[in-house]
Amino acid sequence: MALSESQIPPDAQHYLVCGTEDCKNNCQFYCNDCHLPMCEQCRDEHQKNEKTKNHEVVPYKQRKRQLPVEKCNIHPTKEMVILCEECQIPLCYKCTTTKEHRGHVFTDLEMVFDEKVSLCQEEIAKIRNYFEPISQDLKKDIAGDVKEIKKIMEGLRTSMKAEAEAVKKLINTVTSDNIEQVNKIEQSLLETLYSQSQNIDDYINYLNDLIKTFYGYLSPSNIEQLTFALKSDNFIIRPIPETSKPVLPVFTAGQHSKEDVAKLLGRITIPNTKPENRKIKPMETVSTQLKPTGKQRKQRREKSDVKQTLSLSSSVTKVREYTVPGVDSVYHISLGKSGRLWGSDGSSLVQTDLQGNQLHKIQTNGGSEGYHTVTQDGDLIYTDTNNKVINRITLDNTSSEFIKIRDWVPLSIHSFHTNGDILVGMIKDGEPSKVTRYNKTGTEIQNIQRDNKGQTLYNYPHYITENINGDVCVSDYTKYAVVVVDKSGQHRFSYTGQRSWFCPFGICTDVLGHILVCDINSDTVHLLDQDGQFLSLLLTPQQEVKCPRGVYVDDENNLWVGQRYTNKVSVYKYLQ
């Protein structure tokens, strides 16, 4: 039994089936009057039926949201289906006849509900496209400021320590000079005192000698000498030598305080400046999806007109076939201006015209990845895994280096045709794989690596594309999944196929938001809606498709398919 719309979770992967009783075909359409999903056959019968031929039947994606069933508080057996515009409250039909609402204007509540749902979706888009990404950018700015502050503060600490070491060296130098001066003063004073002491010793010896002389005069036999001595100057004793006390040095302690030391070492101050608010980009400058240009509005109206008339065909028809000379297989396809085709195998990238004439050939180191894309301006850009760069080839075949990736290895690449943004799937040893977004000038503006639970999103993002709602769709064959995130990098869903082993390769989208992806395990092309719900196997081996690897939908809504073991590219019509 098919699930009702209210039972289907937003990120579910399920097979949409017709809601008509006993019908199990694919759901492609929706009756807004019956609120019934239906297949193409049931739609035709529905529109032939006299009772329902005037019902509004639209493609499923353009369906109106069904009004939730809610009973009237005053008339419990009746459902509220009317809005009183004057009172702005929902009513049942019976309430419209009461005197409280007599003469008031009423509106279909389902129509109001559908308008409100659309407004909510617009607000959700604003949050996802503007408010949340800007907030994430501010968070990155804050984290950057934290890192910068830590770096600056560590520098301040290093400078302070260096200043203190310099002052310590000066202190040691001055102290050494002072001690040296003290040593010299001490030596001089001691030499003076030693000299004085020696003079006193000499004088004492002189006195002792003089005493001996006088004792000799005291003998009776020396009376004549005594008489002679008394007449001479021998009785005059030399005076005691003069000595002086040393003048001792005095140490005057330095007058200093903590403030003096702070002045000597320097101080840290915070400028008296009001913090500058971080700049927030105006909404219209951040997302062209929220405020498109006149040219974009015209393109969207044209696409919308096309979408109104397009739907899935009941059969897939092969309409053309092209040859890409110079390659053994066609792993990836890029279409340039004037219908020129770029096709690649594991070592060569070749440009041909629609007659199969080779126009340009490049030897590359790309493998079976989606490693090239045509930009908004018509240039070809492709990844170089050896040199870790993205190269550009202009319309006049001038080749140049466009973006340096540095430490990461670029695998897949895709250029947005709406705003020129560039997506690159990358890998690095020891790091979770990621998708990086650049603007058209090659400036990095976003990295997508983990979901909101911190889990790694990608293992080997070897093919990548965009969808009409801005989703980033990645084919990851080592994760056995198509991983889809919205334009802000939030994980929306992962599609893992309809069998136990799903091995996705080439991936693309179309004007209706369908996702088309090759499964090399079953040699099929899966068709999903933009919410990841499986719709059908668009191409199978029964349609002479062997080893599909690269897919591309052109501006005329034709599906181009490149295959392994052949240089033929087949073109199919699958929309009507």
Same domain, yes or no, for 165 and 86? Answer: no
Amino acid code (one letter) for 512? L
Amino acid code (one letter) for 191? E
Q: Report which of residues 513 and 269 the model is more confident about.
A: 513
Q: What is the pLDDT of residue 309?
A: 58
Whole-number CA gyration radius for the chain = 48
Residue 183 pLDDT exceeds 90: yes
Same domain, yes or no, for 358 and 476? Answer: yes
Strand spans (E) along 9-119: 29-31, 36-38, 57-59, 82-84, 89-91, 106-108
Q: How many CB atoms lie within 10 A of CB 475?
A: 30
311 falls within a domain: no
CB distance 545 to 563 below 8 Å: yes
560 falls within a domain: no
H or E segment and range at residue 525: strand 524-528
Same domain, yes or no, for 79 and 143? Answer: no
What are the distances in angstroms from CA 285 to CA 76, 281, 379, 536, 552?
51, 7, 25, 39, 31
373 falls within a domain: yes
Amino acid code (one letter) for 412? S
Token pair in block for residue 42: 């049931």
Same domain, yes or no, for 34 and 99? Answer: yes
CB distance 476 to 485 below 8 Å: no
Classify strands 312-323 and 568-575 as parallel, antiparallel or unpaired. Answer: antiparallel
User: At CA 430, angle to CA 348 and CA 367, rounded to 5?
Assistant: 10
Domain boundary (504, 524, 555) is at: 504
Q: What is the pLDDT of residue 287?
A: 43
Q: What is the pLDDT of residue 12?
A: 40
**Contacts for 383 with CB less than 8 Å, ≥ 6 apart:** 366, 369, 371, 372, 389, 390, 391, 410, 411, 412, 413, 424
Rounded distance, CA 416 to CA 422, Å?
A: 6
279 falls within a domain: no
Query: pLDDT tens, 297-317?
Result: 455 445 545 444 577 888 899
Rounded distance, CA 61 to CA 467, Å?
A: 14
By C-alpha distance, which of 504, 502, 375 is closest to 440? 375
Q: How does DSSP classify residue 76?
A: T
Q: Phi/psi class of residue 5: alpha, beta or left (left: φ > 0; alpha: ψ in -120 to 50)?
A: alpha
**Contacts for 300 with CB less than 8 Å, ≥ 6 apart:** 292
Domain boundary (474, 504, 534) is at: 504
Task: Give the count of domains, the chain.
Answer: 3
CB distance 494 to 482 below 8 Å: yes
**Contacts for 376 with CB less than 8 Å, ≥ 6 apart:** 415, 416, 417, 419, 420, 440
Residue 259 pLDDT exceeds 90: no
Token pair in block for residue 515: 């996702």
Q: How many CB atoms lie within 10 A of CB 513?
A: 16
Strand, helix or coil for residue 73: coil
539 falls within a domain: no
Residue 551 pLDDT exceeds 90: yes
Q: What is the pLDDT of residue 291?
A: 45
Same domain, yes or no, for 141 and 48? Answer: no
By C-alpha distance, which of 433, 377, 375 is closest to 408? 433
Same domain, yes or no, for 106 and 174? Answer: no
- What is the separation of C-alpha 524 from the centre of its chain, rounded to a whole number of angstroms? 34
Q: What is the pLDDT of residue 5?
A: 46
Q: Which domain holds residue 458?
A: 318-504
Same domain, yes or no, for 94 and 138? Answer: no
Same domain, yes or no, for 380 and 412? Answer: yes
Rounded distance, CA 422 to CA 461, Å?
A: 15
CATH of the domain at 325: 2.120.10.30
Token pair in block for residue 78: 């009746």
559 falls within a domain: no
Domain boundary (111, 140, 173) is at: 111
Residue 386 pLDDT exceeds 80: yes
Same domain, yes or no, for 242 and 390? Answer: no
Same domain, yes or no, for 487 and 362? Answer: yes
Same domain, yes or no, for 326 and 433? Answer: yes
CB distance 370 to 332 below 8 Å: yes
Residue 344 pLDDT exceeds 90: yes
Rounded distance, CA 48 to CA 88, Å?
A: 39
Token pair in block for residue 152: 């600056």
Q: What is the pLDDT of residue 503?
A: 92
Rounded distance, CA 176 to CA 467, Å?
A: 79
Question: Phi first, then psi: what are they for 156, rounded to 5°?
Answer: -65, -45
Residue 455 pLDDT exceeds 60: yes
Q: Report which of residues 295 and 62 the model is more confident about.
A: 62
Average pLDDT taken over every residue of the chain: 85
Mean pLDDT of 151-169: 89
Q: What is the pLDDT of residue 10?
A: 43
Rounded distance, CA 47 to CA 32, Å?
A: 13
Give the confidence band of 202 by pLDDT, cuts at 50, 70, 90. Answer: very high
146 falls within a domain: yes
What size, in residues, is the chain?
Answer: 576
Same domain, yes or no, for 338 and 460? Answer: yes
Long-range pairs, 175-182, Cβ under 8 A, ≥24:
182/249
285 falls within a domain: no
What are the distances in angstroms from CA 234 to CA 200, 204, 228, 231?
21, 17, 10, 8
